[in-house]
Amino acid sequence: MNAIPPPPAWTAGSVRALMDLPFSELVFQAASIHRAHHDPTRVQISTLLSIKTGGCPEDCAYCPQSASYEAGVPASKLMDVDAVLAEARAARAAGASRFCMGAAWRSPKDRDLDAVCAMVEGVRALGLETCVTLGMLTAPQAGRLRNAGLDYYNHNLDTSPEHYGAIITTRSYQDRLDTLGHVRDAGINICCGGIVGMGEDASDRAGLIAALASLPKAPESVPINALVRVEGTPLAQSEPIDAIDFVRVVAAARITMPASYVRLSAGREAMSDEAQALCFLAGANSIFYGPRLLTTVNPAAERDRVLLDRLGMTAG
């Protein structure tokens, strides 16, 4: 019996070559791989709630929650556990299967985790998968979240290693990789992706996908965000990414990370139905559902229901 060959070691160069394929060939390859690993008619639904908004000390150039910018996002305190669980019940009733909670921290204080762990336990008790994004974690903090029953931890790489310094100066790429290592060592699934449309070039987009695919284990969930340009942030005047180029990134994520959920995340509000349909064809199989993400708008739930119905796709 012939041994199954190992998956390819993806480099920025090999991913760039993949993304440069004729569009029809690239999408065909992505769709074929998608069908081999997933039901191509099913879309996983997540809902995202900001449990602590604004006042973040990081200087991420895309983020209106940074205290460095005047983007009209005031700082708030951490939400009460009961209020978060009420939002989770509403998300479940609307069809979400995963409930994601985000706090605008550089890293949580140990005392902050008391409430967050209670939130995780309460959301799990509702029958929902749980995900949090809290900034950088230590190994003991990751262990506490695992013991609370956390299913996924989100910590994005954002962009390629080469472009990263033009976007963020307050935390290094290695800092992000260290947190991902703590999460993986704790036995928590990883949600990790990036943002396109931040002034990067095609090589940087390929570098982001290669960095994600080259982690010791590919993230179980890969959010692909299109930059939402917010006044007051340094990237407010960036040129929006071309829809076809965006689909190429989605297709590359699907081909290089076959078993992962590839999620259409921020930026869907500005996408046409046709662009989203191409993303689903190219292997996207997850969306955020509901009127808002952390601080930016998301397509109305009714628009998503109508689109999925038109495409003959089911949410779950």
Q: Which residue numbers are catalytic?
A: 56, 60, 63, 100, 131, 191, 263
Q: At 309, give phi and psi (nearest 5°).
A: -65, -45
Least Cα distance to 158 among 224, 64, 81, 230 occurs for: 224
Tell me the three state secondary structure of residue 107. Answer: coil
Report H helices in 79-201: 81-93, 112-125, 139-147, 173-185
Cβ proximity of 34 and 283 under 8 Å: yes
In 15-45, which positions are buried (b, 16+ CB within 10 angstroms) versus exposed (e)?
Answer: bbebbebeeeebbebbbebbeeebebeebbb
> What whole-number distance in Å separates Cα of residue 63 and Cα of residue 84?
23
Tokens of 130: 């749980």
> What whole-number distance in Å separates Cα of residue 103 and Cα of residue 290?
18
Query: 311: buried, middle or exposed (CB in 10 Å: 19+, 13-18, 0-12)?
Result: middle
